[in-house]
Amino acid sequence: MRPRIAIAPHPNPLPVRTGRGSPRSTLTVMLICDEYITPASLAEAFAALEKHRGRYRVVAGCTDTLPWAREGRAGDVEIPVLIDVSKIPELNERHVGDTRVRLGAATPIQRFLDDAALGRAMPAMPRCAVWFADDQIRAQATIGGNVVNASPAADATPCLEAHDAIVELASAKGKRSMPLREFITGPGKTMLAEGELVTGFECDAFPSYGGSFEKVGHRRSLVISIVCLAVMVKLDRDGRMIEDTRLAIAGIRPVPRRLREIEDLLRGQPLTGALLEQAADMPLDLVQSRTRQEYRRDVVRGFLVRGLIAAAKRAGAAPDALTIELEAAYG
Protein backbone atom coordinates (compact mmCIF):
# COMPACT_ATOMS: atom_id res chain seq x y z
CA MET A 1 0.00 0.00 0.00
CA ARG A 2 1.38 3.41 -0.95
CA PRO A 3 1.95 5.57 2.14
CA ARG A 4 -0.59 8.29 2.50
CA ILE A 5 0.43 11.92 2.54
CA ALA A 6 -0.50 13.82 5.68
CA ILE A 7 -1.02 17.52 5.08
CA ALA A 8 -1.59 19.76 8.13
CA PRO A 9 -3.13 19.08 11.52
CA HIS A 10 -6.80 18.52 12.09
CA PRO A 11 -8.58 19.23 15.39
CA ASN A 12 -10.23 15.79 15.36
CA PRO A 13 -7.62 13.08 14.65
CA LEU A 14 -8.59 10.51 12.05
CA PRO A 15 -7.62 6.85 12.38
CA VAL A 16 -5.56 5.75 9.37
CA ARG A 17 -3.24 2.91 8.43
CA THR A 18 0.20 4.35 7.65
CA GLY A 19 1.60 1.41 5.69
CA ARG A 20 1.33 -2.29 4.92
CA GLY A 21 1.38 -4.37 8.08
CA SER A 22 1.76 -1.36 10.34
CA PRO A 23 -0.46 -1.13 13.38
CA ARG A 24 -3.53 1.04 13.11
CA SER A 25 -2.73 4.41 14.61
CA THR A 26 -4.24 7.81 15.06
CA LEU A 27 -2.72 10.47 12.80
CA THR A 28 -3.68 14.09 13.14
CA VAL A 29 -4.52 15.22 9.60
CA MET A 30 -6.78 17.54 7.69
CA LEU A 31 -6.23 15.99 4.26
CA ILE A 32 -4.69 12.71 3.15
CA CYS A 33 -4.17 11.31 -0.32
CA ASP A 34 -2.79 8.04 -1.66
CA GLU A 35 -1.06 9.42 -4.74
CA TYR A 36 0.29 12.80 -5.85
CA ILE A 37 0.82 13.09 -9.61
CA THR A 38 2.73 15.88 -11.39
CA PRO A 39 2.17 15.53 -15.16
CA ALA A 40 4.74 17.23 -17.39
CA SER A 41 2.38 17.76 -20.34
CA LEU A 42 -1.28 18.16 -21.14
CA ALA A 43 -1.32 14.67 -22.65
CA GLU A 44 -0.03 13.20 -19.37
CA ALA A 45 -2.57 15.25 -17.43
CA PHE A 46 -5.50 14.04 -19.56
CA ALA A 47 -4.32 10.46 -19.19
CA ALA A 48 -4.22 10.85 -15.41
CA LEU A 49 -7.69 12.41 -15.36
CA GLU A 50 -9.07 9.46 -17.32
CA LYS A 51 -7.23 6.81 -15.30
CA HIS A 52 -8.42 8.23 -11.98
CA ARG A 53 -11.86 9.37 -13.07
CA GLY A 54 -14.02 10.16 -10.05
CA ARG A 55 -11.10 9.80 -7.61
CA TYR A 56 -8.99 12.93 -8.16
CA ARG A 57 -8.74 16.61 -7.43
CA VAL A 58 -6.75 18.93 -9.70
CA VAL A 59 -4.40 21.37 -7.94
CA ALA A 60 -1.83 23.96 -9.00
CA GLY A 61 -0.84 26.39 -6.25
CA CYS A 62 -2.68 24.28 -3.63
CA THR A 63 -3.46 27.39 -1.56
CA ASP A 64 -7.17 26.53 -1.35
CA THR A 65 -6.82 22.77 -0.97
CA LEU A 66 -6.84 22.65 2.82
CA PRO A 67 -9.74 25.09 3.25
CA TRP A 68 -11.65 23.05 0.67
CA ALA A 69 -10.99 19.84 2.56
CA ARG A 70 -12.14 21.20 5.89
CA GLU A 71 -14.86 18.95 7.26
CA GLY A 72 -18.33 20.34 6.83
CA ARG A 73 -17.34 21.98 3.53
CA ALA A 74 -16.01 19.23 1.31
CA GLY A 75 -17.10 16.18 3.28
CA ASP A 76 -14.54 13.37 3.23
CA VAL A 77 -11.01 14.70 3.77
CA GLU A 78 -9.40 11.73 2.02
CA ILE A 79 -8.72 12.29 -1.67
CA PRO A 80 -7.27 9.24 -3.42
CA VAL A 81 -5.34 11.24 -6.06
CA LEU A 82 -4.11 14.82 -6.31
CA ILE A 83 -3.07 15.86 -9.82
CA ASP A 84 -0.74 18.87 -9.77
CA VAL A 85 -0.80 20.66 -13.15
CA SER A 86 1.49 23.55 -12.18
CA LYS A 87 4.51 22.18 -14.14
CA ILE A 88 2.76 21.90 -17.51
CA PRO A 89 4.46 24.38 -19.88
CA GLU A 90 1.29 25.49 -21.69
CA LEU A 91 -0.29 26.49 -18.39
CA ASN A 92 2.68 28.72 -17.51
CA GLU A 93 2.90 30.66 -20.76
CA ARG A 94 1.87 34.29 -20.94
CA HIS A 95 1.93 36.84 -23.74
CA VAL A 96 1.35 40.57 -23.44
CA GLY A 97 0.52 42.44 -26.63
CA ASP A 98 -0.70 45.95 -27.38
CA THR A 99 -4.36 44.95 -27.51
CA ARG A 100 -4.58 41.40 -26.08
CA VAL A 101 -3.17 39.45 -23.15
CA ARG A 102 -2.98 35.68 -22.79
CA LEU A 103 -2.41 34.17 -19.37
CA GLY A 104 -1.66 30.51 -18.74
CA ALA A 105 -3.91 29.15 -16.01
CA ALA A 106 -0.93 28.42 -13.73
CA THR A 107 0.28 32.04 -13.78
CA PRO A 108 0.91 32.99 -10.13
CA ILE A 109 -0.79 36.10 -8.76
CA GLN A 110 2.69 37.44 -7.93
CA ARG A 111 3.43 37.90 -11.66
CA PHE A 112 1.09 40.91 -11.74
CA LEU A 113 3.49 42.64 -9.36
CA ASP A 114 6.87 41.66 -10.81
CA ASP A 115 6.04 41.69 -14.55
CA ALA A 116 5.85 45.40 -15.45
CA ALA A 117 4.39 44.82 -18.94
CA LEU A 118 1.63 42.63 -17.53
CA GLY A 119 0.85 45.19 -14.85
CA ARG A 120 0.52 47.96 -17.45
CA ALA A 121 -1.74 45.88 -19.68
CA MET A 122 -4.01 44.91 -16.76
CA PRO A 123 -3.85 48.02 -14.55
CA ALA A 124 -6.26 46.88 -11.83
CA MET A 125 -4.51 43.54 -11.24
CA PRO A 126 -1.36 44.86 -9.50
CA ARG A 127 -3.61 46.55 -6.92
CA CYS A 128 -5.59 43.33 -6.61
CA ALA A 129 -2.37 41.33 -6.14
CA VAL A 130 -1.20 43.61 -3.32
CA TRP A 131 -4.35 42.74 -1.37
CA PHE A 132 -4.15 39.04 -2.27
CA ALA A 133 -3.25 37.25 0.99
CA ASP A 134 0.50 37.43 1.74
CA ASP A 135 3.80 37.09 -0.12
CA GLN A 136 4.01 33.31 0.19
CA ILE A 137 0.46 32.67 -0.95
CA ARG A 138 0.75 35.15 -3.85
CA ALA A 139 3.81 33.26 -5.08
CA GLN A 140 1.84 29.99 -5.16
CA ALA A 141 -1.78 30.92 -5.88
CA THR A 142 -2.70 30.82 -9.56
CA ILE A 143 -5.09 32.86 -11.65
CA GLY A 144 -6.72 29.64 -12.87
CA GLY A 145 -7.30 28.31 -9.39
CA ASN A 146 -8.87 31.57 -8.26
CA VAL A 147 -11.36 31.33 -11.13
CA VAL A 148 -12.11 27.59 -10.97
CA ASN A 149 -12.86 27.76 -7.25
CA ALA A 150 -15.70 30.11 -8.20
CA SER A 151 -15.91 31.83 -4.86
CA PRO A 152 -18.38 34.75 -4.96
CA ALA A 153 -15.63 36.83 -3.32
CA ALA A 154 -12.68 35.73 -5.51
CA ASP A 155 -10.40 38.75 -5.98
CA ALA A 156 -9.21 38.09 -9.53
CA THR A 157 -12.62 37.48 -11.10
CA PRO A 158 -13.85 41.11 -11.25
CA CYS A 159 -10.52 42.18 -12.77
CA LEU A 160 -10.78 39.49 -15.45
CA GLU A 161 -14.44 40.28 -16.04
CA ALA A 162 -13.57 43.95 -16.58
CA HIS A 163 -11.14 42.79 -19.29
CA ASP A 164 -13.81 40.69 -21.05
CA ALA A 165 -11.81 37.56 -20.30
CA ILE A 166 -12.30 34.41 -22.36
CA VAL A 167 -11.70 31.10 -20.55
CA GLU A 168 -9.75 28.51 -22.54
CA LEU A 169 -10.49 24.85 -21.80
CA ALA A 170 -9.01 21.61 -23.06
CA SER A 171 -9.52 17.88 -22.67
CA ALA A 172 -8.48 14.74 -24.50
CA LYS A 173 -11.44 15.39 -26.82
CA GLY A 174 -10.29 18.85 -27.90
CA LYS A 175 -10.43 22.52 -27.00
CA ARG A 176 -13.18 25.06 -26.42
CA SER A 177 -13.59 28.54 -24.96
CA MET A 178 -16.27 30.73 -23.42
CA PRO A 179 -16.62 34.13 -21.75
CA LEU A 180 -15.81 34.21 -18.05
CA ARG A 181 -19.32 35.50 -17.32
CA GLU A 182 -20.71 32.22 -18.72
CA PHE A 183 -18.07 29.96 -17.18
CA ILE A 184 -18.87 30.77 -13.53
CA THR A 185 -22.48 29.76 -12.87
CA GLY A 186 -22.74 30.08 -9.08
CA PRO A 187 -20.83 29.73 -5.82
CA GLY A 188 -18.35 26.90 -6.37
CA LYS A 189 -19.98 26.05 -9.73
CA THR A 190 -18.53 26.34 -13.23
CA MET A 191 -18.97 24.94 -16.71
CA LEU A 192 -15.82 22.82 -16.36
CA ALA A 193 -16.59 19.31 -17.61
CA GLU A 194 -15.28 15.96 -16.38
CA GLY A 195 -11.77 15.34 -17.71
CA GLU A 196 -11.32 19.00 -18.67
CA LEU A 197 -8.78 21.60 -17.56
CA VAL A 198 -8.73 25.37 -17.69
CA THR A 199 -5.57 26.07 -19.69
CA GLY A 200 -5.61 29.86 -19.84
CA PHE A 201 -7.37 33.17 -20.31
CA GLU A 202 -7.34 35.64 -23.17
CA CYS A 203 -8.49 39.19 -22.53
CA ASP A 204 -8.29 42.80 -23.65
CA ALA A 205 -5.17 44.82 -22.80
CA PHE A 206 -5.64 48.37 -21.48
CA PRO A 207 -2.17 49.93 -21.18
CA SER A 208 -3.54 53.48 -21.53
CA TYR A 209 -6.03 53.13 -18.67
CA GLY A 210 -5.63 53.96 -15.00
CA GLY A 211 -6.57 51.12 -12.67
CA SER A 212 -7.81 50.67 -9.13
CA PHE A 213 -8.93 47.79 -6.93
CA GLU A 214 -11.00 48.20 -3.77
CA LYS A 215 -11.52 45.45 -1.21
CA VAL A 216 -12.92 45.08 2.29
CA GLY A 217 -13.26 42.09 4.61
CA HIS A 218 -13.55 41.20 8.28
CA ARG A 219 -9.91 42.05 9.03
CA ARG A 220 -6.99 43.98 7.56
CA SER A 221 -4.65 41.13 6.55
CA LEU A 222 -5.10 37.75 4.81
CA VAL A 223 -8.65 38.88 4.23
CA ILE A 224 -11.47 37.19 2.32
CA SER A 225 -13.50 39.82 0.52
CA ILE A 226 -16.91 40.97 1.60
CA VAL A 227 -16.88 43.27 -1.42
CA CYS A 228 -14.19 43.75 -4.08
CA LEU A 229 -14.29 46.09 -7.05
CA ALA A 230 -12.09 46.47 -10.15
CA VAL A 231 -12.05 49.88 -11.86
CA MET A 232 -10.30 51.08 -15.03
CA VAL A 233 -10.61 54.55 -16.54
CA LYS A 234 -9.34 56.06 -19.79
CA LEU A 235 -9.31 59.87 -20.12
CA ASP A 236 -8.77 62.24 -23.03
CA ARG A 237 -5.43 63.98 -23.57
CA ASP A 238 -6.43 66.88 -21.32
CA GLY A 239 -7.47 64.58 -18.47
CA ARG A 240 -10.96 66.08 -18.28
CA MET A 241 -13.21 63.79 -20.32
CA ILE A 242 -13.91 60.11 -19.65
CA GLU A 243 -13.33 58.22 -22.88
CA ASP A 244 -13.99 54.76 -21.43
CA THR A 245 -14.46 52.90 -18.16
CA ARG A 246 -14.46 49.26 -17.13
CA LEU A 247 -16.00 48.23 -13.82
CA ALA A 248 -16.74 44.83 -12.28
CA ILE A 249 -17.66 43.77 -8.77
CA ALA A 250 -17.67 40.59 -6.67
CA GLY A 251 -18.87 39.61 -3.20
CA ILE A 252 -22.37 41.09 -3.47
CA ARG A 253 -23.92 38.42 -5.70
CA PRO A 254 -23.45 34.69 -6.38
CA VAL A 255 -21.22 35.50 -9.38
CA PRO A 256 -19.06 38.50 -10.35
CA ARG A 257 -20.85 41.18 -12.32
CA ARG A 258 -19.81 43.77 -14.87
CA LEU A 259 -21.31 47.21 -14.12
CA ARG A 260 -22.13 48.12 -17.71
CA GLU A 261 -24.89 50.58 -16.81
CA ILE A 262 -22.39 52.71 -14.90
CA GLU A 263 -19.85 52.40 -17.71
CA ASP A 264 -22.47 53.74 -20.14
CA LEU A 265 -23.30 56.63 -17.83
CA LEU A 266 -19.66 57.69 -17.47
CA ARG A 267 -18.45 57.20 -21.04
CA GLY A 268 -18.04 60.45 -22.94
CA GLN A 269 -18.81 62.66 -19.93
CA PRO A 270 -16.71 65.36 -18.20
CA LEU A 271 -14.82 64.07 -15.18
CA THR A 272 -16.58 65.68 -12.20
CA GLY A 273 -17.28 64.74 -8.62
CA ALA A 274 -21.02 65.08 -9.18
CA LEU A 275 -20.87 62.54 -12.01
CA LEU A 276 -18.90 60.03 -9.92
CA GLU A 277 -21.36 60.32 -7.02
CA GLN A 278 -24.29 59.90 -9.41
CA ALA A 279 -22.65 56.75 -10.76
CA ALA A 280 -22.10 55.40 -7.25
CA ASP A 281 -25.83 55.46 -6.48
CA MET A 282 -26.72 53.21 -9.43
CA PRO A 283 -25.71 49.65 -8.39
CA LEU A 284 -27.06 49.56 -4.83
CA ASP A 285 -30.01 47.33 -5.75
CA LEU A 286 -27.57 44.75 -7.18
CA VAL A 287 -26.53 43.60 -3.71
CA GLN A 288 -27.94 40.08 -3.35
CA SER A 289 -25.67 38.60 -0.69
CA ARG A 290 -27.26 36.45 2.01
CA THR A 291 -25.88 38.58 4.86
CA ARG A 292 -25.05 42.20 5.69
CA GLN A 293 -26.82 43.66 2.67
CA GLU A 294 -27.12 47.21 4.02
CA TYR A 295 -23.45 47.26 4.98
CA ARG A 296 -22.46 46.03 1.54
CA ARG A 297 -24.59 48.74 -0.11
CA ASP A 298 -22.75 51.41 1.87
CA VAL A 299 -19.41 49.84 0.95
CA VAL A 300 -20.29 49.62 -2.74
CA ARG A 301 -21.17 53.30 -2.93
CA GLY A 302 -17.97 54.41 -1.23
CA PHE A 303 -15.83 51.99 -3.22
CA LEU A 304 -17.16 53.19 -6.56
CA VAL A 305 -16.34 56.83 -5.90
CA ARG A 306 -12.96 56.05 -4.35
CA GLY A 307 -12.04 53.57 -7.08
CA LEU A 308 -13.03 55.95 -9.86
CA ILE A 309 -11.02 58.77 -8.27
CA ALA A 310 -7.91 56.59 -7.92
CA ALA A 311 -8.18 55.17 -11.45
CA ALA A 312 -8.78 58.62 -12.95
CA LYS A 313 -5.74 60.05 -11.21
CA ARG A 314 -3.59 57.19 -12.49
CA ALA A 315 -5.01 57.82 -15.97
CA GLY A 316 -3.77 61.42 -15.87
CA ALA A 317 -6.71 63.43 -14.54
CA ALA A 318 -6.25 67.19 -14.66
CA PRO A 319 -5.22 68.47 -11.20
CA ASP A 320 -8.38 70.57 -10.81
CA ALA A 321 -10.85 68.06 -12.31
CA LEU A 322 -11.72 66.59 -8.90
CA THR A 323 -11.81 68.60 -5.70
CA ILE A 324 -9.66 67.93 -2.67
CA GLU A 325 -12.85 67.78 -0.60
CA LEU A 326 -14.19 64.91 -2.73
CA GLU A 327 -10.97 62.95 -2.35
CA ALA A 328 -10.95 63.57 1.39
CA ALA A 329 -14.57 62.42 1.75
CA TYR A 330 -13.89 59.10 0.03
CA GLY A 331 -10.18 58.62 0.74
The CATH class given to the 5-84 domain equals alpha beta
Q: What pTM was computed for the model?
A: 0.84
**Number of other residues whose CB lies within 10 A of the CB of residue 260:** 12
Which residue positions in the chain have pLDDT lower than 50?
Answer: 1-29, 71-72, 74, 218-220
Q: Which fold has domain 89-204?
A: 3.30.465
Give yes or no for a contact between 80 and 55, defined as CB atoms under 8 angstroms apart: yes
Intervals of CATH 3.30.43.10 along the chain: 5-84
Intervals of CATH 3.30.465.10 along the chain: 89-204
Q: What is the pLDDT of residue 68?
A: 64
Q: What is the pLDDT of residue 18?
A: 41
Q: Torsion-angle region of residue 116: left (phi > 0), alpha (psi -120 to 50) or beta?
A: alpha
CATH number attached to the domain at 210-330: 3.30.390.50
Backbone angles phi, psi at 50, to 5 degrees: -70, -40
Strands 78-84 and 189-190: what pairing?
unpaired
Residue type, 56: Y
Q: What is the pLDDT of residue 14?
A: 44
Give yes or no for a contact between 79 and 69, defined as CB atoms under 8 angstroms apart: yes
What kind and span of H or E run contains 240?
none
Q: What is the pLDDT of residue 3?
A: 38
Calculate the alpha carbon distances from 321 to 243, 274, 312 in Å.
15, 11, 10
Calculate the alpha carbon distances from 151 to 101, 113, 158, 187, 250 in Å.
24, 23, 11, 5, 9
Intervals of CATH 3.30.390.50 along the chain: 210-330
Cα gap 89→41, rounded to integer Å: 7
